[in-house]
Chains A and B, each alone.
Chain A
Amino acid sequence: MHTRSKPWKLMLTGAISLTLLAGCGTSNNAETNGASSGDVVVSKEDFPIVSKPVTLSLMAPDVGIQNWEDMAVLQQMEKKTGISFKYLNVPKDSFDTKKNLVFASGEYPDVFYASGLTTAEQMNYGEQGILIPLEDLIEEYAPNFKALMEENPDVRKSITAPDGHIYSLPVVEYSQHWYRNPMWYNGDFLKALKIDKLPETTEELYTYLKRVKEEDPNGNGLADEIPISSVTVTAANLRDIRTWLLGAFGIYDDEIYIDDVDKVHYTAMEEGYKQYLIYMNRLWSEELLDHESFSQTAEQKKAKAQNNRVALFSDWHAYMTKGGEPSMEDPMFAPVKSDMVDAPAISKNRGITTGAFAITKSNKQPEASMRWVDYLYSYEGALFFNKGPEGTLWEYTDEAARIKQYLPVPGGVEMEDYRATLTPNYGIPAPTLSMDDINKGLKTDFDLWVEKETKEKLLDKGARIPFPVLFLTGEEQTEINSLNSDLSTYVKQMEAKFIIGAEPIANWAKYLETLKKMGGERVTEIYQNAYDRWESS
């Protein structure tokens, strides 16, 4: 029975997609829903959401592992809610291009899912009525999301556009605290050099790195150790380690951050940034910072680390760079401090990404759409979209306490690959809430250890969000874009030159002068205004 119904369904969706593509998407929807839209009743708390089946179109990026029609999560969701979707998927790497074309073409999907709508897009398209305001719908049809906003007032502040409307729902990720991938010490070196207390100041860190360089901790008789190594991703250098070292000089982020008295700082013009450059120059000139940091790829850095040559590096987990199995022997870097501050500045993940879900004006069922997405902000729905239905990837061992265990993966594929065939929420910024309870019982000892390291070294040491998620107005955005295209280029080049000593730090005043000429102070001003607006909203 089951197998027989499937081709049918496929043919049906095929037919729908054909008509959709042949004609004009919007008018077609109006036709299919037209008869029912009058008498479709949208339930405010029960499932199914709609009294009669409803079909909507959904645009989303995808990674190409599985067709969305065939995903267990979406199929069951359709049964549960009565809402079925025609999926308009675009490969993830070209999604932005296609998104712009869709907005330009005048034919919009009913909803945008995991679409990463920028704040500028939300404002522009919101003002023109292409994206509809969501605040009233949230009030009426999104009990879970409403509760979430009441619990975390910052969420509402961060997703509200300057005109007072909410045009998109966010990804809320309060269980992931890292602002950037952490840095990790190579535990083998710590042991070989008999270090039992990790460096706490920039001087101690320097001393340690110097010892790595000189005392042959990998014991191969060669001075081939590389104390710190960084990589170059397309046109960006030192990005993986910069934030962590800037913290030692009281700076939270490499571009813009807010201090404890609500004052915005533009990093490149700060005294702390100058001290950072001096420190980095010292590391460079004594070859403690890998001289290939400005040109090597991530793979090349990995190859060095796997030959046990690198002492301190950044990655999601240490073993991903060092190779081998997850190990608790490589401790997380604990932010160090310099003489100019009492404690290091430590950044924490903002936890909110706007633009994950939006409803367009062509949607005839905005209420139902809102109820549909609201489910993803409940524990049950978030779990469902994160891990798939119970009995596939996992099962409950104690449902009341939300404790689970993993089931064996069929077919010998990797667990994550299997997961990607069950749910769309794989590698895309999907609207959902991530919470600790989802992984209850599923965490390994290693996961728990990483959590402990994070808590002790970052969270308990005063980690905070460097700059909130907020909206710039249209004019502000244009001005920032224009200023930044020169500023960021100049800052990037000068940072590299100061560090390798091609530009002596004595020229700092001249550098500041140039930045001012390019409008560095204006950047601070614009962000200060935006921040004040956010703060008072």
Chain B
Amino acid sequence: MITAMKESRGDKVFLVSTYIYLCLALTVVVYPLIYILSASISDPQAVNSGAMWLFPKNVTLDGYKLVFENPKIWNGYLNTIIYTVIGTSLNLFVTLPAAYALSRSDFVGRQLFMGLILFTMFFSGGLVPSYLLIKNLGLINSMGALILPVAASVWNIVVARTFFQSTIPKELQEAAHMDGCTNLKLFIRIILPLSAPIVAVMALFYGVGHWNSYFPALIYLNDESKYPLQMVLRQILVLQEMSAETTGAAISGEVAIAMNSKAETASLIKYGVIVVSTLPIVAVYPFLQRYFVQGVMIGSVKG
């Protein structure tokens, strides 16, 4: 980069303050993250009394042991990966073409389409009719119930549309049309390759949505073998945390005792579960970052 050589004093000050700002952001955010990691392997009593405040204290792996001893967990991981991959592919297939079409100012009727889509962001029929719909489509207890009802999100369509609108130069489209290029070819051959960043963003947004989702599974799945990871983890948590409900109304003695013995591991597991479910998806992010570099595509087109 030539720019690096030509830095003035003002630029240096600016750059240094940028670094300081980022370092500050890093420290503020990293502390609770370390806390979670430490809490997931520390004696719960030390965590609750505040004795553990940064590094692990009285290390124990019981939490992770309990999570990974559960035979359903690996199946859950597998299911989640399947749902995420297939679901996200469908999302991209639905979202990107629509967003591109809506971004075109010469697309007659886009106001109408936009209005129809935006309307659903605010008004929905609610849980019961949605459940009946899924049932009537015969999707209960199938992967379809987890993927089809969330095939697109208004928010993401709007975001992608904005990206297309503001970064794809109009001249490009006009030139392509002059060359006799159809819209389909234009979209697949030129627009998509140019839009790697938004494709990455959409994949990330949708993918994370699938990864974290549990409610549709909870409502639509009957078979435990089909449960995604989040459902399995929820089951583990619920089992451990039943003790919380016993404060208040009395229940049976055996259960109270059992829950008390579990309460210890409950708080361990609470933190452990976060780590287990989050690590894979956090690990994906660095690979996507290369799409978020200034000029990564425009430069490549013009060059």
Contact = CB atoms under 8 A, between A and B. Distances in A.
Q: Are chains A and B touching directly in their complex (CB below 8 angstroms)?
A: yes
Contacts of A101: 127-128, 131, 219
B218 A91 contact: yes
B132 interface: yes
Pairs A-B, 8 closest by C-beta atoms: A416-B258, A303-B49, A303-B48, A316-B256, A64-B235, A299-B48, A178-B250, A320-B260
Interface of B: 44-45, 48-50, 127-128, 131-132, 135, 138, 140-141, 218-219, 222, 224, 231, 234-236, 238-239, 242-244, 246-261, 263, 267
B247 A233 contact: yes
Contacts of A419: 254
A349 B250 contact: yes
A293 interface: no
Given A21-B140, A101-B219, A176-B250, A64 B258 contact: no
Contacts of B250: 176, 178-181, 316, 349
A12 interface: no
Contact of A316 (B45, B128, B242, B253): B253
Interface string A308-320: 0000001111001
Contact of B238 (A89, A93, A173, A178): A93
Given A21-B222, A91-B234, A105-B132, A298 B247 contact: yes
Given A176-B252, A320-B260, A306 B128 contact: no
Nearest to B249: A180
14 contacts: A67-B224, A91-B218, A94-B219, A105-B131, A105-B132, A178-B250, A179-B250, A180-B248, A231-B247, A239-B247, A240-B247, A298-B244, A315-B247, A414-B261
Contacts of A494: none
A71 to B, nearest CB: 14
For chain A, the bracket of interface size reads 35 or more
Contacts, number: 121
Contact of A416 (B128, B222, B247, B255): B255
Given A64-B239, A104-B132, A306-B45, A434 B252 contact: yes
A537 interface: no
Interface in A98-143: 98, 100-101, 104-105
A179 B238 CA distance: 24
A180 B132 CA distance: 40
A453 to B, nearest CB: 14
B219 A97 contact: yes
Given A88-B222, A240-B248, A303-B49, 19 more contacts: A22-B138, A63-B238, A67-B224, A97-B127, A100-B128, A101-B128, A101-B219, A176-B253, A180-B250, A181-B248, A297-B48, A303-B50, A304-B49, A316-B246, A320-B256, A320-B260, A414-B261, A416-B258, A434-B252
B48 A300 contact: yes
A97 B253 contact: no
B48 A233 contact: no
A6 interface: no
A427 interface: yes
A317 B243 CA distance: 13
Contact of A94 (B50, B138, B218, B257): B218
Contacts of A303: 45, 48-50
Interface string A165-192: 0000000010010111100000000000
Contacts of B127: 97, 101
A32 B145 CA distance: 28
A159 B23 CA distance: 65
A533 interface: no
A490 interface: no
A88 to B, nearest CB: 7
A256 to B, nearest CB: 15
Interface of A: 17, 21-22, 63-65, 67, 88-89, 91-94, 97-98, 100-101, 104-105, 173, 176, 178-181, 231, 233, 236, 239-240, 297-300, 302-304, 306-307, 314-317, 320, 323, 349, 414, 416-417, 419-420, 426-427, 434, 447
A434 B254 CA distance: 12
Contacts of A91: 218, 231, 234-235, 238
B193 to A, nearest CB: 44
Contacts of A93: 234, 238
A138 B131 CA distance: 35
Contacts of A420: 258
B46 to A, nearest CB: 9
A314 B256 CA distance: 13
Contacts of A22: 138
A189 B49 CA distance: 21
A100 B129 CA distance: 12
A17 B141 CA distance: 11
A97 B218 contact: yes
Contacts of B141: 21
B71 to A, nearest CB: 11
Contacts of B236: 64
Contacts of A306: 45, 49
A297 B263 CA distance: 13
Nearest to A88: B222
A324 B274 CA distance: 29
Given A63-B242, A179-B250, A298-B247, A316 B218 contact: no
Nearest to B256: A316
Contacts of B263: 299, 302, 320
A499 B256 CA distance: 31
A323 B141 CA distance: 44
Contact of B254 (A17, A300, A314, A416): A416
Contacts of A65: 239
B241 to A, nearest CB: 9
Contacts of A105: 131-132, 135
A349 B257 CA distance: 19
B246 A181 contact: yes
A64 B132 CA distance: 26
Contacts of A316: 246, 250, 253, 256-257, 260
A101 B134 CA distance: 12
A453 B9 CA distance: 80
A316 B258 CA distance: 11
A233 B243 CA distance: 11
Contacts of A178: 250
Nearest to B218: A94
A417 B258 contact: yes
B224 A299 contact: no
A392 to B, nearest CB: 15
A233 B248 contact: yes
A427 B255 contact: yes
A297 B222 CA distance: 34
Contacts of A434: 252
Contacts of A298: 243-244, 247
A116 to B, nearest CB: 12
